[in-house]
């Protein structure tokens, strides 16, 4: 059976478990996902205070104030930030007040210092005031009991500052999955070792580890494993013992030495799928010991693409994210592209904005072994099954990571 991309992804997302939560200091929670909702235990700001350096007064006292006819008020007190006023402002009086200092009782507004001139114990006010002007009110930002940040929120510096202002020093976050990565194949050679006839370098493991780190996950690098049932089974069992999820590369297509299949089937409930996509048709997915296993195809472009479209969203789900997929947008094609297969074609492209519209051109030879097509690309475009998209028509597009 051939699954569509959406069907395969839905099955995976449905099956992956959420990671447990843990307590974390707020600064260390940067980049994690909040596993609790945060309610305000206090008002922000906690008291009425001045938004300006100036004079706290009664607005109705200075209705007629102007440059030519200032209103003179008695100054009864000075309140720096951090101190509480002791005197109440009455008609004809003002209190000198600093930004962030507590408003004195009786005053209803603040005139900024630039619109005043201090005498010995008086002040001339040159501007009329409206009630509440330059006053920041208790709870105007956040009120006690408000839901301030919801569970599932990605924690950025502004969330951390908000937690601190609510007197919260620790929060529950979802643990990030530790992910084990194994490359399989007798042809794979370690970096630095001599390349014997018939052998190639193991590039997938490095690419997958980097994709994991870029997405914020911890990597357990299990190295290269030969196409040997005993060795592979040992390696994968050891990986499952240490990790929250497992990624294998290679050995899931027809015509392989069926070693990966044999071993994965021994480990748990693993399905071998053909997904109606190009690159990346053969894939394995399942759960063993409650941990997801992703069997990626060996071709380098397939491996990176399948990670991007399936593994990354699944690990995001495990990590508690609510937004799992990269945003897609429309891009105008710069050449005709024909897809005469029954598999959606994810092509590597250079996507650039000209005159307010995204334009896409593909990066040369699109074979699933041509890693260079990914090196040149900054995103993927989607050519639907059995369609020709002509120059000037649009396709769905997405960037890898941040646009560049």
* Residues forming the site for ligand AMP (CB under 6 A): 183, 185, 187-188, 200, 202-205, 249-251, 253, 256, 297-300
| 3-class DSSP assignment, residue 346 | strand
Closest to 220 (Cα-Cα) out of 248, 250, 242, 236: 242
Task: Count how many Cα atoms sit within 13 Å of the Cα of residue 110 in the half-sphere of its side chain.
Answer: 27
Q: How far is the CB of 343 from ligand AMP (least distance, A)?
A: 16
**CB-nearer residue toward ligand AMP: 157 or 192:** 192
Q: How far is the CB of 339 from ligand AMP (least distance, A)?
A: 22
Cα(114)–Cα(102) distance, integer angstroms: 20
**CB-nearer residue toward ligand AMP: 164 or 254:** 254
Choose the contact partner of 280 out of Mg ion, ligand AMP, none; CB within 5 to 8 A by kind.
Answer: none
Question: Is residue 282 involved in binding Mg ion (CB under 5 A)?
Answer: no
Q: How far is the CB of 397 from ligand AMP (least distance, A)?
A: 26
**CB-nearer residue toward ligand AMP: 247 or 397:** 247
Cα(291)–Cα(299) distance, integer angstroms: 24
Say whether the peptide bond before residue 279 is cis (omega within 30 degrees of 0).
yes
Q: How far is the CB of 251 from ligand AMP (least distance, A)?
A: 4
State how far the alpha carbon of 74 is from the alpha carbons of 57, 235, 339, in Å.
Answer: 10, 83, 83
Question: Is residue 250 involved in binding Mg ion (CB under 5 A)?
Answer: yes
Neighbours of 402 (CB within 10 A): 6
State how far the alpha carbon of 164 is from the alpha carbons of 171, 264, 294, in Å.
Answer: 11, 47, 39
Question: Is residue 185 involved in binding Mg ion (CB under 5 A)?
Answer: yes
Say whether the peptide bond before residue 5 is cis (omega within 30 degrees of 0).
no
Strand partners, 78: 96
Give buried/exposed letters for 81-99 (b at 16+ CB in 10 A, else e).
Answer: eeeebeeebeeebbbbbbb
Q: Which of 251, 280, 282, 313 touches Mg ion by CB under 5 A? A: 251
Q: How far is the CB of 241 from Mg ion (least distance, A)?
A: 24
Question: Is residue 286 involved in binding Mg ion (CB under 5 A)?
Answer: no
Q: How far is the CB of 203 from ligand AMP (least distance, A)?
A: 4
**CB-nearer residue toward ligand AMP: 48 or 204:** 204
**CB-nearer residue toward ligand AMP: 260 or 276:** 260
Choose the contact partner of 205 out of ligand AMP, Mg ion, none; CB within 5 to 8 A by kind.
Answer: ligand AMP
Q: Which residues bind Mg ion (CB under 5 A)?
A: 185, 250-251, 298
């Amino acid at each position: 059976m051939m699954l569509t991309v959406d069907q395969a992804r839905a099955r995976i997302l449905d099956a992956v478990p959420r990671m447990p939560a843990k307590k974390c200091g707020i600064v260390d929670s940067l980049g994690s996902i909040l596993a609790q909702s945060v309610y305000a235990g206090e008002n922000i700001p906690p008291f009425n205070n001045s938004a300006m350096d100036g004079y706290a007064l009664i607005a109705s006292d200075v209705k007629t104030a102007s440059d030519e006819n200032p209103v003179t008020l008695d100054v009864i007190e000075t309140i720096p930030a951090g101190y509480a006023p002791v005197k109440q402002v009455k008609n004809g009086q003002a209190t000198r007040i600093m930004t962030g200092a507590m408003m004195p009782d009786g005053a209803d507004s603040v005139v900024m210092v630039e619109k005043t001139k201090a005498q010995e114990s008086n002040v001339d006010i040159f501007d009329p005031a409206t009630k509440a002007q330059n006053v920041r009110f208790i709870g105007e930002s956040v009120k006690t009991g408000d839901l301030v940040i919801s569970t599932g929120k990605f924690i950025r510096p502004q969330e951390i500052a908000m937690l601190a202002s609510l007197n919260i020093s620790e929060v529950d976050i979802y643990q990030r999955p530790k992910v084990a990565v194994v490359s399989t194949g007798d042809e794979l050679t370690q970096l630095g070792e001599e390349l014997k006839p018939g052998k190639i370098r193991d590039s997938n493991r490095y690419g997958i580890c980097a994709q994991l780190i870029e997405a914020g996950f911890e990597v357990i690098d299990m190295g290269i494993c030969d196409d040997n049932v005993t060795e592979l089974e040992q390696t994968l069992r050891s990986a499952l013992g240490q990790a929250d999820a497992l990624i294998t590369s290679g050995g899931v297509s027809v015509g392989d030495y069926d070693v990966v299949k044999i071993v994965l089937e021994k480990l748990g409930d693993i399905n071998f799928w053909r997904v109606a996509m190009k690159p990346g048709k053969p894939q394995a997915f399942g759960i063993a010991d409650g941990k997801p296993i992703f069997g990626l195809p060996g071709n380098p472009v397939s491996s990176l693409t399948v990670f991007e479209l399936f593994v990354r969203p699944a690990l995001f789900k495990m990590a508690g994210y609510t937004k799992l997929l990269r945003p897609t947008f429309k891009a105008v094609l710069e050449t005709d592209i024909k897809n005469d297969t029954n598999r959606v074609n994810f092509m590597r492209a250079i996507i650039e904005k000209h005159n307010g519209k995204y334009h896409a051109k593909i990066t040369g030879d699109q074979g699933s072994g041509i890693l260079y097509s990914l090196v040149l690309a900054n995103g993927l475009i989607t050519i639907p099954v059995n369609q020709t998209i002509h120059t000037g028509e649009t396709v769905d597009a997405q960037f890898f990571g941040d646009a560049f």
